[in-house]
Amino acid sequence: MTQDTAFSGYADPALHARGLFIGGNWAPGAGAIPVHDPSTGNRIADVADAGVDHALRAVDAAEAAAEGWRKMSSRQRSEILRRWFELMRAHAEELALLISLENGKALPDARGEVAYAAEFFRWYAEEATRVGGEFRHTPSGAHNILVDHEPIGIAVLITPWNFPAAMATRKIGPALAAGCTVILKPASETPLTAYAMARLGEEAGVPPGVVNVLTTSKPGPVTAAMLADKRVRKLSFTGSTGVGRTLLAEAAKSVVSCSMELGGNAPFLVFDDADIDAALDGAMVAKMRNGGEACTAANRFYVQSGIHDAFVEGLTRRMAALKLGRGYDPDVQCGPMITTKAVEKIDRLVSEAKARGARATTGGEPAGESGYYYPPTVLVDVPTDAALAHEEIFGPVAAVYRFETEEEAVRLANDTEYGLAAYVYSGDVMRAMRVGRGIDTGMVGINRGLMSDPAAPFGGTKQSGLGREGGVTGILEFMEPKYFAVEF
Ligand code: NAD
């Protein structure tokens, strides 16, 4: 597929942005970064490569726009976000195709992502006008306490490739609603969606410099330079725990406020008394949304003995029936992985588990086509100390383990350094809630395989991160409380 045919599906050529977006202008970079279509391995576009000087120019632009944006009424900021939401909806099909082209995910998943991503703009358009303060009398009666919330300042936003639209809107929405200006650095694998959304932001009326977007092949030095600049007051990062740790250390040098959405290793617990069809439906969503490339993806299925074999049989049937292929082809339900490296990692984890006694009831070997494919796979008899029980698989592999008691299930679920998401299926809601409380994660799905919602606080405990995105508190990640001691 050549670049031209890859992009022929677009109705709107305005979405074909390639340059760095700084201060409302499209600027060339210091070189080019190739973007590949994971469905074929073909190069589909080049985007500009930013160096440290471009990044500092973006900070200049964010600073120049800061005062005007902060002083604009929240109603006006809200209406701009609302227009951006409407434009994303109007361009939903082009955006979905773009996401599928550069990320590989199946079109239904890409459409779902665009809808989810746009909702962050609608939600924060609404929240922008509802930022509250606080008034209290001191217990001593000496004075009064007035608490205001102010925009924290210039924010650097770094996003991963697995949700190129939603991870960006989940940060841009609350940051803009709070009154901050931002520099977004999307993943180099999937930059086209971010640039396309920047075009829509321009059209929505986002003033120049409020949102800047830059891609770089040198994320370490470029980010370090921005964090060292005293004008930058916030880092909001979504990505792997390893990179998150590096960035926390970098941010510590200038005491920059950090929000971190990091890796996951979600357990999916099914008790004997669960509705098995509902559990299987939920398992397919929790495992296969985005081909398994989601931080909330169910990584470890713990199934109670009495229902184990029926669950494995049902899951195998459903996974084997999925159509694997190019993400944007009709009827495809599972697209390729993001890179060959991702396929190699999955293969390594599955091979190690098989060498230690695990058995594949479907899949279990790389698909061996052009592109980066791994077939939907179910593994049984997996030892609980296999590497794939402890590392993020980030692919379409469901490893099923057997358990006997509730205590054992909770212990196994907590046997990980991660704490992002967990799922519990049981016909006894009291039990499901008790188990959910016992699991150390930021989010628990009770008889439900999908938890992401712009109105809910998204985030993890342990090595899965710091802070929450979305919900009513998400905006506060981009604000500083200011306390006035008032005597009257
Ligand atoms: P990654 O950590 O490799 O990259 C994430 C982003 O960080 C990219 O933009 C990348 O270019 C950038 N980056 C890499 N090294 C950097 C450095 N030294 N300095 C500054 N930036 C740097 O992660 P990924 O492979 O793109 O994404 C997958 C990971 O993201 C998984 O671990 C997944 O669980 C996690 N994730 C978490 C959430 C969540 O909300 N908790 C959501 C989606 C993905």
333 shares a domain with 197: no
Quote the ligand 1 centre to 243 CA distance (angstroms): 7
Residue 110 lies in a domain: yes
What is the distance of C-alpha 382 from the center of its chain? 28
Count other Cβ atoms within 10 Å, centred on residue 264. 27
Question: Are 94 and 227 in a shared domain?
Answer: yes
Pair 144, 250 in one domain: yes
pLDDT given at position 13: 54
Q: In this predicted structure, what is the pLDDT of residue 114?
A: 98
Concatenated DSSP letters of 79-139: HHHHHHHHHHHHTHHHHHHHHHHHH---HHHHHHHHHHHHHHHHHHHHHGGG---EEEE-T
pLDDT of amino acid 160: 98
Whether 115 and 148 share a structural domain = yes
Contact 157 CB / ligand 1 (< 6 Å) = no
- When pLDDT is averaged across residues 287-306 and rounded to a whole number, the result is 97
Domain extent, residue 338, equals 266-453
For a ligand 1 pocket test, name from 47, 109, 158 the mutation site with the most ligand atoms within 8 angstroms of its C-beta.
158
Report pLDDT digits (tens) over 193-244: 999 999 999 999 999 999 999 999 999 999 999 999 999 999 999 999 999 9
On whether the CB atoms of residues 93 and 61 are closer than 8 A, the answer is: no
Query: What pLDDT digit, counting tens, does each position of 239-270 carry?
Result: 999 999 999 999 999 999 999 999 999 999 99
Average of per-residue pLDDT values in the chain? 95
Q: Which atom of ligand 1 is nearest to the CA of 161?
A: 26
pLDDT of residue 123: 98
The DSSP symbol for 334 reads B
Phi and psi at residue 323, to the nearest 5°: -90, 120
Q: In angstroms, rounded to a whole number, what is the distance separating the alpha carbons of residues 16 and 157?
A: 22
Which residues have CB under 8 Å from 432's CB, separation 6+? 271, 424, 425, 426, 446, 447
Q: Does residue 360 contact residue 377 with C-beta atoms inside 8 Å?
A: yes
CA-nearest of 75, 166, 181 to 125 is 75
Q: Which residue has the tokens 């200006």?
A: 181
Question: Does 419 have pLDDT greater than 90?
Answer: yes
Backbone angles phi, psi at 339, to 5 degrees: -145, 170
User: Which residues are registered as beta bridge partners of 266?
Assistant: 298
Verify that 116 and 49 share a domain, yes or no: yes
Provide the CATH number for the domain around residue 410: 3.40.309.10
Per-residue pLDDT, 18: 75
- 424, 320: one domain: yes
pLDDT category at 380 given cuts 50, 70, 90 is very high
Say if 460 falls within a structural domain: no
Co-location of 399 and 277 in the same domain:
yes
458 lies in a domain?
no
The one catalytic residue in 113, 189, 261, 392 is: 261
Q: Count of alpha carbons within 13 Å of 271, Cβ hemisphere only? A: 24
What's the average model confidence in pLDDT over 436-455?
A: 97
Quick one: 55 and 73 in the same domain?
Answer: yes
DSSP state for residue 323 in the 8-state scheme: P
97, 186: one domain = yes
Residue-level pLDDT at 4: 40
Which token pair is 117?
A: 């991503």
> Alpha-carbon distance 252 to 233, whole Å?
11
User: Which domain CATH number covers 163?
Assistant: 3.40.605.10
H/E stretch holding 286: helix 276-288
Nearest CA to ligand 1 atom 17: 220
User: Is 4 inside a domain boundary?
Assistant: no
pLDDT of residue 109: 97
- Domain assignment present for residue 2? The answer is no
Q: Label residue 6 by pLDDT band (50, 70, 90).
A: very low
pLDDT digits (tens, 9 = 90+) for 112-170: 999 999 999 999 999 999 999 999 999 999 999 999 999 999 999 999 999 999 999 99
Tell whether 145 and 291 lie within a shared domain.
no
- 90 within a domain of the structure (yes/no): yes
Number of domains in the chain: 2
Taking Cα atoms as reference points, which of 52, 43, 461 lies closest to residue 216? 52
- Report yes or no on 27 lying in a domain: yes
Using the mean position of ligand 1's atoms as its centre, give its distance from the Cα of residue 256 in Å.
19
List CB contacts of 151: < 8 A, sequence separation 6 or more.
Answer: 70, 178, 179, 180, 478, 479, 480
For the question of residue 408 being annotated catalytic, the response is no
Phi first, then psi: give them for residue 162, nearest 5 degrees: -75, -30
475, 406: one domain = no
- Record the tokens describing residue 471, joined without a space: 């919900």
pTM above 0.75, yes or no: yes
Find the 15 Cα to ligand 1 centroid distance in Å.
24
Can you tell me the mean pLDDT for 171-184?
98
3 found inside a domain: no
- Return the ligand 1 atom nearest residue 264 CA: 34
The pLDDT value recorded for residue 313 is: 98
With a CB cutoff of 8 Å and minimum separation 6, the contacts of 241 are 262, 263, 417, 418, 463, 464
CA of 293 to the centre of ligand 1 (A): 12
State whether 229 and 272 are in the same domain.
no
